[in-house]
Amino acid sequence: MSKEQIKKIQNRKPRLCFVSSSGGHWEQLQKLQPLIDKYDGFMVTEKTQFEADAKYFMRQTDLKDKMMPVKMLFNSIYVLYIWIKERPDFIITTGTMVAYPFYLMAVLFRKKFVFIETFGRANMPTVAGKKMEKHADLFIVQWETQKKFYEKAIYGGCLY
């Protein structure tokens, strides 16, 4: 590799992938828009009846949905496409199931993974938080009371 190629890589802004399910998780994630403006980033969410300003839309999934395994398989294949096209350095999520394939890719390719626990759960942990904390490089909670549920949690304050 030439010195110019190395310099180009060193000067490159990190590529940020923001991913969350729809609803409140999406509202919270949108509060991080200044990071997308400052760095090179894109947003991913679920396709629903509500409009969202995201670059990519995944199939909406729910643990209670009988079609969840099929939808997760479709989403995982789509995530592979997004991953190859976008080459993110950081995955930042407020959860939930739609973020899981991105979490697995971050672990597999040793990219930085940031999980922000939802504001809506002040007094109990989430399934997504419990699953993704293990490999999170940074695990942020929005309530001081949430820290007791997670070993790696740091209090970051409210996104609202």
Q: Measured between alpha carbons, how far is 7 from 43 in angstroms, rounded to an integer?
A: 28
Range of the domain at 70: 18-44+54-155
pTM, whole model, 2 decimals? 0.88
> What share of the chain in percent tops pLDDT 90?
69
**What's residue 111's pLDDT?**
98
Q: How many domains does the chain have?
A: 1
Is residue 12 exposed (0-12), middle (13-18) or buried (19+ Cβ within 10 Å)?
A: exposed
Asked, for residue 86, whether it belongs to a domain, the answer is yes
Looking at the domain assignment, is residue 11 inside a domain? Answer: no
**Residue 115 pLDDT level (bands cut at 50, 70, 90):** very high
CATH number of the domain at 116, please: 3.40.50.2000
Q: What is the pLDDT of residues 22-45, one digit of tens each?
A: 988 999 999 999 988 888 899 999
The reply to whether 115 falls in a domain is yes
